[in-house]
Amino acid sequence: MPKMKAAMAAVLVMEKEGATQTFGVPGAAINPLYSAMREHGGIHHILARHVEGASHMAEGYTRARAGNIGVCIGTSGPAGTDMITGLYSAQADSIPILCITGQAPRARLHKEDFQAVDIASIARPVTKWATTVMEPAQVPRAFQQAFHLMRSGRPGPVLIDLPFDVQMADIEFDIDTYEPLPVYKPAAHRHQIERVLEMLDTAERPLIVAGGGIINADAADLLVEFAELTGIPVIPTLMGWGAIPDDHALMAGMVGLQTSHRYGNATMLASDFVLGIGNRWANRHTGSPEVYCKGRQFIHIDIEPTQIGRVFAPDYGIVSDAKAALAMLIDVAREWQAAGRLRDRTGWAMECLGRKSDVRYLRKTNFDSVPMKPQRVYQCMTRAFGRDVCYVSTIGLSQIAGAQFLHVHHPRHWINCGQAGPLGWTVPAALGVRAADPTRRIVALSGDYDFQFMLEELAVGAQFKLPYIHVVVNNSYLGLIRQSQRGFSMDYCVQLGFDNINTPADAPSHGYGVDHLKVVEGLGCKAIRVHRQEELAPAIAQADAWMAEFRVPVVIEVILERVTNIAMGTEIDNVTEFEELAHDHSDAPTAIASMLD
């Protein structure tokens, strides 16, 4: 039996499991693992500037492609605690990432040794499994179990903590005979699927709510096929956005209190039946169950048993992987179609489609004011970037308005941390997406505060040649919190603007505070500042040229008006529209308008 250090066994197992890209920061307690990676040479590594950044890079890497598992690595103590936010974000959105931490030698545990902390106990609430491996011979099996758990059932993150002496110990291990453990995913039974179609047959105005589980299961094509087969319109959740193209005739809009379309909320309120697949009934989508559920029946299909009935009790629930459920739904529906048992939903589908270009349900984007309104920025982005762009964003008014006004046409082209929403996530996540896909057109979207949280990670993009465009909409405010503070009649501690002594008093950005262009250029990247809508398309063209020439991230900062209140509310039937609505069809996507002709 071959003999090797336990750290080498860990590296060989990771490679055999398909994890060949890591993100992290070396340190004394994890150096044996880094030594094994250097010696073996089969696993790539990107050096982060902050260990939390490494965890978000791993998230972006996983979210970008089906089957990916991002790996983040740090030393003992604060490296592990820094990665807790990434683990929480991954756990909340069912994203598998592997976090590996170094640890003090076993004899020094519980002796308050330097940078020795019980990271497994700290991480346990935000992981599927967190363990400190105390026996060297268990290292390969711990990693085997980690990949099995990350991929089985509801996906999620795992943390493995490796004491220094465990990594250094010699063990016997044969990677040539190693095989990954079989992945477990529950699947719906035929009689359950028949019950679903029987219940759908009683509905006059049914909808499909498509969640992030469809994206995770790589089942978007099956979703579209089932929707087209049955003629049932689809409401994607924020995490499921892109599962059906925005310009598809059966894409009925998004629903919610913030990241929603007026036509989506109106369609939900007009429905009488909802089939949820791979979704959580998240509160930003539903509002209160009393309003959301009134007058309609629900079926809920999800891979995680504890999700069924967690928010409200559905009329029927099935525990199943989204791909398995959709595949069987298609098979049975085709049998029904052949037997003439499928109802004609054309009238209801056309009613839902009509709302998408009805001015009563459209928010205005065609503003000409300077400084720019965010609505006009997103209108310009949609026109400039086209259908194949991949957006990366996190939280704030920038993300909320982006979800209201941008358009997504492919799965995994809206990369967003939905439940946790940590500021600073966007830059490292975009770098992780780029590391996973060298060719995709990637555009990150941040407000100025999200951007400032972890902008040092731009240096990673410069060093490792990871180009993408980062649009920073700068209103020099904590915009979402400022808007929330309206309920307390205050505007307190949310202003980011100040008179930067290095910014000329007559400059349009005077009073906005941080000079992002200088900071970005100091980190080895390129940057452009935009003040007017007609400047945005040329700025994007310049960004494309710089990325091709220098292979670094390019930041486009757009100076916004200081205060813009974005539509949101307390219930899906009580959303406040702060801006005027569209007066004509110029704000309707051209492809949607053409479907109605």
Q: Is the peptide bond before 26 cis (omega within 30 degrees of 0)?
A: no
HSE-CB for 466 with a 13 A CA cutoff: 27
The answer to whether 425 and 57 have CB atoms below 8 angstroms apart is no
423 in active site: yes
SS3 label, residue 101: strand
HSE-CB for 539 with a 13 A CA cutoff: 23
Dist CA 530 CA 516 (whole Å): 12
Catalytic residue among 197, 308, 332, 481: 481
183 in active site: no
Phi, psi torsion values for 138, nearest 5 degrees: -90, -5
Dist CA 81 CA 100 (whole Å): 12
Fill in the DSSP letter of residue 464. Answer: T
DSSP characters for 122-163? HHGGGSSEEEE--SGGGHHHHHHHHHHHHHSSS---EEEEEE
Exposed (0-12), middle (13-18) or buried (19+): which is 368, by Cβ within 10 Å?
Answer: exposed
Provide the 10 A C-beta neighbour count for residue 211.
Answer: 29
Catalytic residue among 30, 97, 329, 478: 478
As given in the structure block, the two tokens for residue 433 are: 């997406």
- Residue matched to tokens 């409401």: 235
Dist CA 299 CA 307 (whole Å): 12
560 in active site: no
User: How far from the centroid of its chain's Cα atoms is residue 108's Cα?
Assistant: 39
C-alpha distances (whole Å) from 160 to each of 106, 163, 201, 492, 587 are 15, 10, 49, 42, 50
SS3 label, residue 68: coil
Catalytic residue among 11, 12, 13, 51: 51
HSE-CB for 282 with a 13 A CA cutoff: 28
Catalytic residue among 12, 13, 25, 395: 25
As given in the structure block, the two tokens for residue 429 are: 């996540």
The answer to whether 33 and 45 have CB atoms below 8 angstroms apart is no
Fill in the DSSP letter of residue 200. Answer: H
Nearest CA-CA partner of 213 in 169, 276, 279, 274? 279
370 in active site: no
Beta bridge partners of 210: 236, 277
311 in active site: no
Helix axes 374-385, 397-405, angle to 10 degrees: 50
Exposed (0-12), middle (13-18) or buried (19+): which is 108, by Cβ within 10 Å?
Answer: middle
Dist CA 321 CA 170 (whole Å): 40
Provide the 10 A C-beta neighbour count for residue 333.
Answer: 20
Which secondary-structure segment (H or E) carries 474?
strand 469-474
How are beta strands 70-74 and 21-24 bridged, if at all? parallel
Beta bridge partners of 420: none
As given in the structure block, the two tokens for residue 267 are: 């369609």
Catalytic residue among 423, 443, 523, 552: 423
Residues noted as catalytic: 25, 51, 423, 478, 481
